[in-house]
Structure 1
């Protein structure tokens, strides 16, 4: 054997023992498929008899699994948000947004910025220059130096109705507004009634379009101008689609017909003033808020602290805020959603307070009822 051949052979063999980092992506197809089969059965998906759609949904489900892994890898504590398989995990991000979110909500919100019902609160002496309260300032809030209770939750009064499910009807704006009206009526009168969201879907004008979109402030303005009462749900039940308005003239004029009337409202901005938002929750009642819910697709529970743009232009959903907790290691808001009790924590989620996470403070509405 020639010496050149010997040297070449030794060099090749030596390379086999060198620690050369080669990243080999694991093939998760088999385990993912087992999870998907369980998922399809659990959520009673209807595409089992369509091989083409089944395959397409499986690929989207796989993308959700990888995203879930990434989100959970960034958790910083046991209180941090947890992500996992939900009924939405077989949807692409675009499908999720088009089915359950309203991308035009921010442009709608812009129309209300100069209205007389709109106020901008920017006097938070606890916030730092970057819009987040530092730990010492949060501790001062926890000691209630502002006069706020350390914890507050309207559910504990018994004045909050069960969580609803908007299904594929894009009327989050109606759900959140009616939910606030229910509790406000109960606060004033001591009795809790489930009110009609469907009435708002079918009847609300002022550029509201039923299951195809609307916004909280436009609905409240329409209700105060027209003095239409929100009827009980039993008198105007849900259909989860936009139908013809069933209101009659006698419904509008009859003093004997039960209904809740909105007599006043606000449509406020609490960016850099979130303790004022908390004060409103305590002293007045729950509020409806526009948010950015794009990152909630695979949310299971815990406090959302990151990965959620709070810009005004990112608003795409509406929810109800029913309380807060400043005693936790991460202070948070208690947020009621309208995606059913299987979403998050029995239909609720928790958003870290301060810093306008998910745009929670951009456009917040309180209301008064009669």
Structure 2
């Protein structure tokens, strides 16, 4: 009996050494995976767990969160831009660029004289990397300008649009600006057809495959095109055949020959005057780092070179009284992106290239 007890005690001792005396390694849960699962639930994504697609999208999401952390580390002010999970976070940067941006804009579409002027001004006013990381310089501004302008509260800005995967930001931003000027001219707003521009505009524009605001305005002016309401020519998200008869009697909305397409890099005080005294404008920008933007004022890590332009948006106002003076920027990625469809970009130093190509219009 004593031998049996000794044997039992020995077994217990061995068990203790195996399972109690030696620490057992348990890997902590992957925070990125936890965030990814929450992201999938919130966005109603339907990837089959443990599938190749699930794993591939997780890698893209994890990389997005890593880039977001790097971008967030530059923000030193409560108003600075914040980056994190967005509806685009499970795309690679290459997929995001291909589906939502136009990286060939400077080469294929920008008017040569505007691009040359932009390049000259960019090199003339270029700041050091240290300056870009540290702060944004506010330009000398006419003291007679309003300290804050927000055309949204004037009732002339139509609801946020969604271009989806159609690369026609050039048409969206221009049409939105024409809508705004029409509301200023007539006292009431109307949603105009973006699809009409996508299908019909020539002059180098190629529908959902890309285009340029200046070339679009030139084409509208030379062709004497009358824009139809959205209800008569609805958006499809793809490039279709043109359903407009160019020789038909004029009706709808037309622009005047007074449209402008200028470069204000290094002269953003003039851009502010234009927004305050004339109205909203369409601008070309570099939106590469907007993929995971959640809100706040973009100050850093947004190259302003004219060679980096890849998107077009609308400036609908500005605020010079904020701790970080900023432009109010309307995007075309739907109301579920950014701040209900809007972004904020710091005034000064041509952040994101916002002053390189600025289009303003009048309507009749």
User: Under a length normalisation based on structure 2, what TM-score does the superposition of the two structures give?
Assistant: 0.85
Preserved contact between residue 114 and residue 263 of structure 2 (Cα < 8 Å): no
Name the CA shift for 1:164/1:42 in 2 (closer, same or farther; >3 Å). Answer: same
Does the residue aligned with 2:258 lie in a helix, a strand or coil?
strand
CA distance in 2, matches of 1:129, 1:309: 11
Q: Secondary structure at the match of 1:108?
A: helix
- Structure 1, unpaired ranges of 5+: 1-26
8 A Cα contact 1:97 1:294, kept in partner: yes
Q: Is the 8 A contact 2:110 2:212 kept in 1?
A: no
Structure 2 partner of 1:338: 332
Using a 3 Å threshold, how does the CA distance of structure 1 residues 232 and 262 change in structure 2: closer, same or farther? farther
Moved more, 188-197 or 34-43: 34-43
Query: Which residue is 1:207 aligned to?
Result: 204
Deviations 1:26-73 (A, max 9, x none): x77622222212211222224337811111000111111122222222
Q: List per-residue Cα deviations over 1:199-253 (Å, max 9, x = no partner).
A: 000010111111011110111000000001111000101111111111135xx43
Equivalence for 1:13 = none
- Matched positions, count: 333
**SS of alignment partner, residue 257 of structure 2:** strand
Q: Which residue of 1 aligns with 2:248?
A: 253
Match of 2:195 in 1: 198
Does residue 1:39 correspond to 2:39, yes or no?
Answer: yes
CA 1:299–1:129: 2 relative to 1, 3 Å: closer
Q: Specify the structure having the higher radius of gyration (Cα).
A: 2
After TM superposition, list the pairs within 5 Å mapping 1:228-307 onto structure 2: 228-248=225-245, 252-255=247-250, 257-307=251-301
Residue 66 of structure 1 corresponds to which residue in structure 2?
66
Report the Cα offset of residue 128 of structure 1.
8.4
1:302-353 alpha-carbon deviations (Å, 9 max, x no partner) = 0001001000100000000011100011111000000011111110000000
Distance 2:62 2:139 in 1: 42
| 1:6 aligned residue | none
The residue number in structure 2 matching 1:352 is 346
Contact 1:185 1:260 (8 Å CA) reproduced: no
Higher alpha-carbon deviation: 66-75 or 209-218: 66-75
Q: Secondary structure at the match of 1:235?
A: coil
Label 1:355 to 1:114 Cα distance change in 2 as closer, same or farther (>3 A): closer
CA shift for structure 1 position 79 = 0.5
Distance change (3 Å), C-alpha of 1:139 and 1:234: closer
Tell me the alpha carbon deviations over residues 78-117 of structure 1, each in whole angstroms, 9 at most, x when there is no partner.
00001110011111111111111001111135434169xx
State the match for 2:317 in structure 1: 323
Q: Secondary structure, in 3 states, of the residue corresponding to 2:362?
A: strand
3-state SS of paired residue (1:267): strand
Q: 2:295, 2:343 within 8 Å by CA — same for their partners in 1?
A: yes
1:180 counterpart residue number:
177
1:138 and 1:224 map into 2 onto residues whose CA distance is 35
CA distance 1:225–1:139, change in 2 (3 Å): closer
CA RMSD for the aligned pairs? 2.8
1:265 deviates by: 1.2
SS of the aligned residue for 1:85 comes to coil
Unaligned regions of 5+ residues in structure 2, if any?
Answer: 1-26
Structure 1 contact 231–260 (Cα < 8 Å) conserved: no
Q: Could you say if the C-alpha distance between residues 208 and 191 of structure 1 is closer, same or farther in structure 2, counting changes exceeding 3 Å?
A: same
Structure 1 residues 369 and 176: alpha-carbon distance in aligned structure 2, compared to 1, 3 A threshold: same
CA distance in 1, matches of 2:28, 2:219: 53
> Quick one: distance in 1 between partners of 2:305 and 2:55?
36
Distance 1:119 1:58, change over 3 A: closer
Structure 2 CA distance, aligned partners of 1:245 and 1:49? 43
